[in-house]
Chain A
Amino acid sequence: MTMRASELAGGVRDGSIDPVEHTEKVLEEIERIDKDYHYLNTICADRARKAASDLKKGGSKGRLAGIPLSIKDSIVVKGVESTGGSAILKGYVPVFNATCVERGEKEGAIVIGKTSQDEFGFGAFAVNVGKGFRIPKNPIDPTRATGGSSGGAAGLAKKASFPTISYGESTGGSIVNPASFCDVFGLCPTYGRVSRYGLIDYGNSLDKVGPISRYLSDVALGLEVMAGHDAKDSTSADAPVEEFSSSIGKDLRGLRIGVIKESFGEGTEEDVKDAVWTGIKRLEGEGARYEEVNTPLAFEFGIPAYYIIGTSEASTNLAKYCGMRYGVQEETADGFNEYFTRIRSENLGDEAKRRVMLGTFARMSGVRDAYYLKAAKVRTKIIEEYKSLFKRFDILVSPTVPYKPPTFDEIGRLTPLQHYMADVMTVSPNLAGLPHLNIPAGMKKGLPVGMMAIADHWKESELFRAGAPFERP
């Protein structure tokens, strides 16, 4: 049985666990795992060893003392190559830390490496990796996908025999989706709960950093450390950081659950429906009450609105990648248009190109009213739809993904649009900035199913409350 990360930290603090020794074992294990599973784009062994040795010498005895942290490659770590999963940023070594990394290291965490992902977050299976990057494999069945875009983060959290917290990121579902496929807990906090400073942008009004781990209590610990206002991020909220861990084990009697009817329709696998209903019944057994609800706008218009807004923002965010100042750069006598075009065309993957084009299209003059501005209005309506439900319910529940983790072959047969449909459960809570949690809901035919709980803004405590019965022993 793997120790909890919180227990590891306790052991390091009281001296019963040697962080240097432990870190060495961790480094050796991830080297081994990585050969076949490809969870890490970069392993920062030197940095990890130094942090462990500093910690041992009497450095920080913080809440994350000695805990190995893996950081999604789109979250910058000072001095460690951070590519966002893209070839165009190969060689970019940031001169600053993301705020969430800084806070983690301040509490004594040991950053071990940068996890693999879809290029810039563009995908739901972590198969859209950048040119020259490796695709991560599902920890339970390596012929299957980890889910995306935080594939490496979720895969490592499951596969590792050591206690760990993975820092993931979600724009349209990229924390809970891979958490579901990899059978771990993954929490996407309320938008603004965790600073985005240092996160390589996909969609600025959609991106959130969040923790992924085998244990719910470790997810809570991770959130407690990373959350809180950051003056360097103008969209970071003032909401006070609660003791989220204390919600685990709270009485479930009276918890009001809204079961999202549309999520149990034709497009969802029977196994998934079964497993999630079992989960809902289990909560009922603990005293919760449920009712079926509808979120028609979320289901019909969530994906279109998300893809328009997300790609509109992303296409402006990716414009800076043009072969200047960092990442790929070349000698040239070309004019700037030719040079920029060549660098981008040669180093961005197909999905990145498609999304950049979609986003450029959606905000073009003559088009932007019907697409970009309209989508922003639809977003308002989707938010209103959820807010009115949260007047009557504490959490909403649905499957996280309509299916169990698919094989790479199955994925290879999907059109880009079908890829997008994988997000159908998760895009709308993400659009609305609502916190949501993947709860591992058990195995079917040897493959994991995830149940997703969504709470109102700032109500992560309800998610921890609802997830507690499913905590690993």
Chain B
Amino acid sequence: MSFSTETVIGMEIHAELKTKTKLFCSCSREANEFEKPNTRTCPVCLGHPGSKPVLNRKAVEYAIRVCLATGCAISPALIFSRKSYFYPDLAKNYQISQYEQPLGTKGSLSLDSGKEIGITRVHMEEDPASLVHPAGVGGSSSVLVDYNRSGNPLCEIVTEPDLETPDEAREFLKKLTSILNYLDVFDADSCIIKADANISIKGSGYTRVEIKNITGYKEVERALRYEITRQRQEVSSGGRIIQETRGWDADKGLTFRMRTKETEDDYGYIIDPDLTATAISAPWVRRIKEGLPELAHEKETRYVLEHKISIEDARVIAAEKDLARLFEKVAEKVSPILAARWLRRELVRVMNYSKIDFSGLKIDEKHLSDLLTLVEQKRITEKTAQKLMEQLIKEPFDVHEHVEKNGLASVNDDGAIEEACSQTINANPQAVSEYKAGSEKALNFLIGQVMRQTKGKADPKIIREKMLAGLDH
């Protein structure tokens, strides 16, 4: 493979599938809050001699959804292999995975720029156990192992080395997560998503370094930025980059050597003889395809065409499944353009400020529709609406009732505003002459006075209009 870009990046992403049970046994997949170690295991996921695997149909369905959503060609048969290597987190010292015939091949995912990132393969495999190092990585005399996670179903997605910057890598992973979320095969709360990144730079003749086990798209960007810098520095100071595997220490913000290629094992793949080849029939795939939800990029296109909102708004809203759902509901009641602006900016702003995510959001489309209906009808000012939004996030309430009860309805009476402006002009001759001398600040002061007088219930635009009219009189 010949490269020409400054940096070449490829990724391998492992996403845990949101099934009820593990991939090859009936142990529950989902961790209970406060669960104790080794309480969700059985002879199969513990690798007890004599135990045998049995495949979870739901996991296969979910993996097929991922293949469809990434445009992969789907293999007519699902065949598992044993990937042999020795490590304390492997219950059998082999991982049941796929080698010869991955479930999906030759897919792609487009970035915002339109650039297509190739997806080499999508396949299924089981998760190893979790290791706990009593005294921190590298320093302890033993490990502690928890097999609760052992056997969980993973979907591995491998990209072509088409990514060129840490930004692209971050965007790719973010988009992929959004897709998985939309497909309902992945749940950010209970499922893990991890990435390995392969990176090489021109300066080293494209010697590949692998960084393993990075959690989340923000960390992917950090890790890659660090590594590119490290490699460039190494090369410019006359050093050599060796082909190796490195780990990412998120706390320290650096990559560290794990092992060199020479010590890597031969995986010695064989077809797993405890499992049969599962037929992935065309009717089955068709049924799954028909059941797929509309995905982000499809929503994006539809929002622009149908609702005439801007492509930036459409992109941001469509990317987040819960936000999209709210938008679609609210857009049934109020102008979509208004809904888009408010949801994309105000709602997100307030949620971020209060550190709430969608799973912790207590309000729903009714609250938002009610609020925005009032804004649309100019029955409350935008400023009032903003304040109400902040309050709603903390504790939901009926918007109409609240506005009634607290007399928050805006002052829309032109006459009353004109009157308030006249009063203010008369009461502030100094400010008036400053305005006439060219001071914008004086004008804002005068407008501010009227706003205080009307207790923020008048539309600032109308106040300004009336004020200017009054001053130029």
Asked whether the complex places CB atoms of A and B closer than 8 A, the reply is: yes
Q: Of A234, A312, A313, A340, which is within 8 A of B52 by CB?
A: A234
Complex alpha-carbon distance, A320 and B267, angstroms: 15
Encode A72-99 as 1/0 by CB contact (under 8 A) with B: 0001100000101000010010111010
Encode B46-66 as 1/0 by CB contact (under 8 A) with A: 111111111100000000000
Q: Find out whether the CB atom of B88 lies under 8 angstroms from the CB atom of A76.
A: no
Q: Find out whether the CB atom of A76 lies under 8 angstroms from the CB atom of B50.
A: yes
* Given the contacts A316-B94, A325-B47, A363-B269, A336 and B87 also touching, CB distance less than 8 Å: yes
Q: Find out whether the CB atom of B47 lies under 8 angstroms from the CB atom of A320.
A: yes
Q: Find out whether the CB atom of B52 lies under 8 angstroms from the CB atom of A95.
A: no
Whether A205 is near chain B, meaning CB under 8 Å from some CB there, is: yes
Q: Find out whether the CB atom of A322 lies under 8 angstroms from the CB atom of B54.
A: no
Across the two chains, which residue of chain B brings its CB closest to A197?
A: B52
Q: Of B47, B55, B86, B274, which is within 8 A of A204 by CB?
A: B274
Kindly list chain A residues whose C-beta atoms are within 8 Å of the C-beta of B94: 316, 319-320
Q: Find out whether the CB atom of B270 lies under 8 angstroms from the CB atom of A316.
A: yes
Most buried by A among B43, B52, B86: B52
Kindly list chain A residues whose C-beta atoms are within 8 Å of the C-beta of B273: 203-205, 235, 313
Whether A227 is near chain B, meaning CB under 8 Å from some CB there, is: no
Interface size on B, residues (CB 8 A): 33
Kindly list chain B residues whose C-beta atoms are within 8 Å of the C-beta of A204: 272-274
- In whole Å, how far is A343's beta carbon from the nearest beta carbon of chain B? 11
Whether A188 is near chain B, meaning CB under 8 Å from some CB there, is: no
Kindly list chain B residues whose C-beta atoms are within 8 Å of the C-beta of A453: none
- In whole Å, how far is A388's beta carbon from the nearest beta carbon of chain B? 24
Q: Find out whether the CB atom of A199 lies under 8 angstroms from the CB atom of B50.
A: yes
- In whole Å, how far is A223's beta carbon from the nearest beta carbon of chain B? 20
Kindly list chain B residues whose C-beta atoms are within 8 Å of the C-beta of A232: 52, 54
- Specify the main secondary structure of chain B where it touches its partner: loop
Whether A16 is near chain B, meaning CB under 8 Å from some CB there, is: no
Complex alpha-carbon distance, A413 and B55, angstroms: 47
Whether A364 is near chain B, meaning CB under 8 Å from some CB there, is: yes
Complex alpha-carbon distance, A95 and B94, angstroms: 22
Kindly list chain A residues whose C-beta atoms are within 8 Å of the C-beta of B93: 319-320, 322, 340
Across the two chains, which residue of chain B brings its CB closest to A75?
A: B50
Q: Of B49, B267, B275, which is within 8 A of A84 by CB?
A: B49
Kindly list chain A residues whose C-beta atoms are within 8 Å of the C-beta of B84: 315-316, 319
Kindly list chain B residues whose C-beta atoms are within 8 Å of the C-beta of A125: none
Whether B266 is near chain A, meaning CB under 8 Å from some CB there, is: yes
- In whole Å, how far is A311's beta carbon from the nearest beta carbon of chain B? 11
Q: Of A94, A332, A340, which is within 8 A of B48 by CB?
A: A94
Complex alpha-carbon distance, A340 and B93, angstroms: 11
Q: Find out whether the CB atom of A96 lies under 8 angstroms from the CB atom of B43.
A: yes
Whether B190 is near chain A, meaning CB under 8 Å from some CB there, is: no
Whether A360 is near chain B, meaning CB under 8 Å from some CB there, is: yes
* Given the contacts A203-B273, A234-B276, A95 and B88 also touching, CB distance less than 8 Å: no
Across the two chains, which residue of chain B brings its CB closest to A312?
A: B270
Whether B352 is near chain A, meaning CB under 8 Å from some CB there, is: no
In chain B between 1 and 49, which residues have their CB closer than 8 angstroms to a CB of chain A?
Answer: 43, 46-49
26 contacts between A and B (CB under 8 A): A92-B49, A197-B50, A198-B50, A199-B50, A201-B50, A234-B53, A234-B55, A234-B274, A235-B273, A235-B274, A312-B270, A316-B82, A319-B92, A320-B47, A320-B91, A320-B92, A320-B94, A324-B145, A325-B48, A326-B48, A336-B86, A337-B86, A363-B269, A364-B266, A365-B266, A365-B267
